Structure 1
């Protein structure tokens, strides 16, 4: 047998011919993940948009790789450029929208000097699956995708994923996420309702520390899924001795763990386990199961990242809005006060995308001259940080306008002018500022005369609780929304002032439409009508009418069942059941009467039990007022 001459071998077997005939994708990249070479099989497998000779210099992760694999790809590049081989799986999206799993092995491309100049990747399409078990996995992936798309509430999302996997694919599911530098358990589901004994496995909300060598720690350090086909012959360190005992008692047999990575950041780890809790034909995971969990983990990580970004925006907007609302219940003559602010559940499937929970609802109580009180309830159209910002500006403007002691209708007219200055351009009308639209009711109450003056700008009428009965406060002029004049309505908006006398011990329940609008029926058959919700509210307030203002506010908040679709504000004010103490005297307009007025005022304050410091200040005011009357 004659040996090949090396030169002849090189001439007859060039690398392109050899690599072009093997049934595997071979790709070579530089250190920046730009393609240097791709064989013909790679072009077919990944459906690259050009022939192999025209791909040089393009990024390897072209459209077709699933977005959720970006973090895994970044981890692969880091590991290989550090001189270590990498093995795992990616999901490739075909031109027809279908997905295929691709098994990948990556090794460093070394220069003769030993320097790492790039990466060599060998990829093969995973074997076609036709077994019932594999079809179940496809169905699982579809259900998990659906559940991940439904909500941006993180804990709910994680619980749904865990419930989908247990018991069909696992007996136990654990999801742990980093909070700062601590790893916190965020979800845990066990088959059959089994629960570990207290103090053994970490519970939801508790910190967990995986020791070096633990399979979850390995998954996080490698940034790749790890499978332990059989735990029994192997010894893995446990977080605690108690957790190890609980694992032995429940009979853990096999484990698979996968890191949760998004945008190149490690968010946590997800692990599944099989035990004696269920009767299965096969209680052992394998390499295919590892790849399957890796695919799930990629989707879950993206959903977690989105949910965390949403939660951060929600917290910021909610803190911003809450800071703009009154922080402490004031002490007011002749009035008891309670309030509530409740953010909405995130929008999910209303055709508007998922939005933040905060909005532009607000309430306020403004001390005015002569012991009167300004009462405000309002709602800025829309939701999110912009609605909250507009609300803050309107609240500050109304407080400033109220100090002029103008009638409520005049205050609303000035607020409408101010509202039109807050317009912003939209893509539909780039040159025409679009002012926000706002509903608002402004009331002024005088506790001594029990008189209520008010004007309305398109807001729902408050409920009046008097004599144990509940009815709407009679409002003859509903008014128009603030800001509509900026959208083409000619002329000045007509806000009318009205006046009512409030009986002793009566209460007003002011609220925004988030309390009654678009509440989901308990049986899931659509929404309650506004009339049905308003009737529920009246009945709930009527049951609590004899209780305190806090109880009335709580009853109003809970009156209509179901998650709220819009944020809501509730403000309850109750008048004094007895008349406020007062003193009245008449004096001749003589200078000598100033001291007499001061003496009688001092005696009156003493009878009322006014603190000495406040009484002294009040007597000084009486002296000033009487002196001015005498002189002028």
Structure 2
């Protein structure tokens, strides 16, 4: 139906007619950068027929090789909802070079999702070819330098832009201390100078005083040598001079790299016979252009160097908060771990995120050879997240020494996390500080019983490899992240205790979510978490029978694409062999002290323990067992509440009282005739590769403590001896009492009393 005021021609004008009359190229691509539409101007501009372009990648539209990586990155940026505008170098179907000024916007579905990209382009310049190249070069260099804060990337992109379009040879030398070090040596056509001629990347460079590079640095301005054959100067070496003549270097521009008044180095560009140019000479305009380029390069280099220094400081800070590079040697376990910080993210105008994160892991030796394992991730990035991670790791190690169950450890860590959130000051613009949220899983593994106990706080389950099959360790409850209660979420947070028995040779792969989150595809989209998990399982399954280091590396390389978050990986494998253990239950009577010592001596002899070490161990066994027996004998009897029986037929007078007392007396006598339960203790001996562990279990809830015995006291020195002679000792509560334990080294002359 025609609207009021609308002409018949306007009502019937199809969109195709409008697009074909536009003096601007319009190209529509799907999510995979394949062309699904192009108007007539685009076909004339790029030199192809319409039907030839449909279904082809937009990269095939003559985008110059040096701009292809940038085009791929921009496609990813636009597919995420961004907009980009800039200049590209293109090559027509007939081989001519031209520049286009382009804008790319997302093609959105009515639902709001991005289905592809729309590119609008027009030819940037209509003057002579050389002027177009000069103007486009400066603009494109600015775009390239704005996209990276990594020094190596900045220098590489700089050289890719200059060679071969503006120079046949590009050198960038930067100061390291008082020496110039060559950082870039790029040449047209992939040509490489022979060794011993022009300095290679990483080698020092020394220019004579009359060299054009020395003059540029001394004058702090660009120096032009229009005809090198007519210019007399001293080269760094005879071989260098001979090579310049051999390749036919004709013209050179050297420009100092100055940033904030400081000389960072020098950049030199040269034309030679390798470029096959019709006029291989620079002019005054080129000198001014290179001077402007050098200023931009210097600022980008300075920013990159400052950024790298800050990043190295942050990484060193975080590395010092994490365990060392070499995992500890523990009985019944093989361990490998890997930590990788996120790479800098180039986001084309949306800021560059380059900060470290809060991923952490730890392996904590516990009592009697047991091991605590943790993997966790503090939400957010930067020094604050790393600092929070360091505090949490220290707090967890302290809590773990109490040998409490994993669920109780997480409850205490949750309280610690919420306390940190409350004590933090708000950032500028925040009314209240954001709560600290942390995901982690804490495990306790007993290599002798092969029992793994654990509790989870919102972390991804680890992979479990058993009998060559890869699955996931099942969590009955994922649990809430630490700090959730501090974020305003109501309700009590419970951390459930779970346990399972690991088969001999089982392998656990613990990891943080940076391993599977936001890994980019080549088309700019991202793998889903399900796809990433599948690739991770497949990669681990392929090396399931290899050593733990190989599995850790395979896990890290499983999902392609750069990581944009920190990654921590811990791989542990249980032993195929059974570890030596012996235990026996004794009555808590003095006569059993010698029996316990005899059992220990026989066991140590059977294990081939050094006699001196065995004698020392037996002495400490006697002291601990004696302490248990004495306290068992002196332990107060449980308090029993009297129960008033219902006695029938009693009168209300005084003559009824004797009958009541008599019945209560009879009841008390009857209770007294029951024999009390015999108190017992259990002695358990464990042997590892380098240590002996002794544990004594009893039902007394009181934990032992060292007391100072007087000169005339007959007792009170047992635990003091244990403290002085054992490597470590302690006591931990159990479900029905406590366990007192100590550790001794197996090697003769080992660290006693350390």
Most deviating of 432-441 and 599-608: 599-608
367, 379, 382: which one aligns with 1:381: 379
Separation in 1, partners of 2:609, 2:292: 73
TM-score under structure 1 length normalisation? 0.76
324, 333, 336: which one aligns with 1:335: 333
After TM superposition, give the deviation of residue 568 of structure 1 in Å: 0.3
282, 285, 305: which one aligns with 1:285: 282
| C-alpha distance 534-609 of structure 1, shift in aligned 2 (>3 A) | farther
Separation in 1, partners of 2:307, 2:187: 29
| C-alpha distance 487-384 of structure 1, shift in aligned 2 (>3 A) | same
Quote the residue 1:481 is aligned against: 481
312, 321, 324: which one aligns with 1:324: 321
| C-alpha distance 350-383 of structure 1, shift in aligned 2 (>3 A) | farther
After TM superposition, give the deviation of residue 490 of structure 1 in Å: 2.0
The secondary structure found in structure 1 opposite 2:442 is: strand
Counting only pairs closer than 5 Å after superposition, residues 180-219 of structure 1 correspond to structure 2 as 180-219=177-216
Quote the residue 1:168 is aligned against: 165
Cα shift readout 1:174-195 (whole Å, capped 9, x = no counterpart):
1111122221111111001111
Counting only pairs closer than 5 Å after superposition, residues 27-46 of structure 1 correspond to structure 2 as none
Separation in 1, partners of 2:542, 2:617: 42
Separation in 1, partners of 2:381, 2:236: 45
Quote the residue 1:233 is aligned against: 230
Separation in 1, partners of 2:584, 2:493: 44
Report if aligned partners of 1:355, 1:384 keep a CA contact under 8 Å in 2. Answer: no
After TM superposition, give the deviation of residue 617 of structure 1 in Å: 4.9
Report if aligned partners of 2:358, 2:377 keep a CA contact under 8 Å in 1. Answer: yes
Separation in 2, partners of 1:148, 1:620: 73
Separation in 2, partners of 1:182, 1:389: 37
| C-alpha distance 234-398 of structure 1, shift in aligned 2 (>3 A) | same
Separation in 2, partners of 1:606, 1:258: 80
| C-alpha distance 288-590 of structure 1, shift in aligned 2 (>3 A) | same
| C-alpha distance 416-590 of structure 1, shift in aligned 2 (>3 A) | closer
| C-alpha distance 148-610 of structure 1, shift in aligned 2 (>3 A) | farther
After TM superposition, give the deviation of residue 214 of structure 1 in Å: 1.1
Cα shift readout 1:93-119 (whole Å, capped 9, x = no counterpart):
xxxxxxxxxxxxxxxxxxxxxxxxxxx
After TM superposition, give the deviation of residue 324 of structure 1 in Å: 0.9
Counting only pairs closer than 5 Å after superposition, residues 473-552 of structure 1 correspond to structure 2 as 473-521=473-521, 523-552=522-551
Separation in 2, partners of 1:296, 1:502: 63
Quote the residue 1:468 is aligned against: 468
229, 243, 247: which one aligns with 2:244: 247
The secondary structure found in structure 2 opposite 1:422 is: helix
366, 369, 373: which one aligns with 1:368: 366
Quote the residue 2:583 is aligned against: 584
Report if aligned partners of 1:171, 1:190 keep a CA contact under 8 Å in 2. Answer: yes
Quote the residue 2:297 is aligned against: 300
After TM superposition, give the deviation of residue 594 of structure 1 in Å: 4.2
Asked which structure has the greater CA Rg, the reply is: 2
Report if aligned partners of 2:451, 2:499 keep a CA contact under 8 Å in 1. Answer: yes
The secondary structure found in structure 1 opposite 2:207 is: coil
Separation in 2, partners of 1:245, 1:612: 78
Counting only pairs closer than 5 Å after superposition, residues 557-576 of structure 1 correspond to structure 2 as 557-576=556-575
After TM superposition, give the deviation of residue 628 of structure 1 in Å: 2.1
Quote the residue 1:139 is aligned against: 136
Cα shift readout 1:565-609 (whole Å, capped 9, x = no counterpart):
111000011111122111224556565654564455345335435
After TM superposition, give the deviation of residue 510 of structure 1 in Å: 0.5
Most deviating of 482-491 and 463-472: 482-491
- How large is the Cα RMSD of the aligned pairs? 2.1
Counting only pairs closer than 5 Å after superposition, residues 154-165 of structure 1 correspond to structure 2 as 154-165=151-162
Quote the residue 1:149 is aligned against: 146
Report if aligned partners of 2:441, 2:459 keep a CA contact under 8 Å in 1. Answer: yes
The secondary structure found in structure 1 opposite 2:274 is: coil
Say whether 1:270 aligns with 2:283: no
After TM superposition, give the deviation of residue 427 of structure 1 in Å: 4.8
| C-alpha distance 274-614 of structure 1, shift in aligned 2 (>3 A) | farther
Q: Count the aligned residue pairs.
A: 504
Report if aligned partners of 1:357, 1:566 keep a CA contact under 8 Å in 2. Answer: no
| C-alpha distance 525-611 of structure 1, shift in aligned 2 (>3 A) | farther
The secondary structure found in structure 2 opposite 1:336 is: strand
Separation in 1, partners of 2:524, 2:588: 74
Separation in 1, partners of 2:566, 2:389: 13
Report if aligned partners of 2:358, 2:385 keep a CA contact under 8 Å in 1. Answer: yes
Counting only pairs closer than 5 Å after superposition, residues 67-146 of structure 1 correspond to structure 2 as 130-146=127-143
Separation in 2, partners of 1:428, 1:490: 27
Say whether 1:403 aligns with 2:401: yes
Report if aligned partners of 2:427, 2:433 keep a CA contact under 8 Å in 1. Answer: no
Report if aligned partners of 1:252, 1:274 keep a CA contact under 8 Å in 2. Answer: yes
Cα shift readout 1:208-236 (whole Å, capped 9, x = no counterpart):
11121111111111111011111112221
Quote the residue 2:704 is aligned against: none
After TM superposition, give the deviation of residue 474 of structure 1 in Å: 0.5
Report if aligned partners of 1:440, 1:457 keep a CA contact under 8 Å in 2. Answer: yes
After TM superposition, give the deviation of residue 630 of structure 1 in Å: 3.5
Separation in 2, partners of 1:612, 1:204: 63
Report if aligned partners of 1:155, 1:187 keep a CA contact under 8 Å in 2. Answer: no
Quote the residue 1:94 is aligned against: none
Quote the residue 1:28 is aligned against: none
Most deviating of 503-512 and 342-351: 342-351
Separation in 2, partners of 1:508, 1:422: 31
Counting only pairs closer than 5 Å after superposition, residues 17-56 of structure 1 correspond to structure 2 as none
Separation in 2, partners of 1:445, 1:298: 59
Cα shift readout 1:428-483 (whole Å, capped 9, x = no counterpart):
77453323211111111111211111111111011111111111110011111112
Report if aligned partners of 1:597, 1:623 keep a CA contact under 8 Å in 2. Answer: yes
Quote the residue 2:175 is aligned against: 178
After TM superposition, give the deviation of residue 484 of structure 1 in Å: 2.1
| C-alpha distance 415-463 of structure 1, shift in aligned 2 (>3 A) | same
TM-score under structure 2 length normalisation? 0.64
| C-alpha distance 332-284 of structure 1, shift in aligned 2 (>3 A) | same
Separation in 2, partners of 1:452, 1:594: 33
Quote the residue 1:627 is aligned against: 626
| C-alpha distance 169-428 of structure 1, shift in aligned 2 (>3 A) | closer
Report if aligned partners of 2:147, 2:348 keep a CA contact under 8 Å in 1. Answer: no
| C-alpha distance 221-385 of structure 1, shift in aligned 2 (>3 A) | same
Separation in 1, partners of 2:354, 2:588: 64
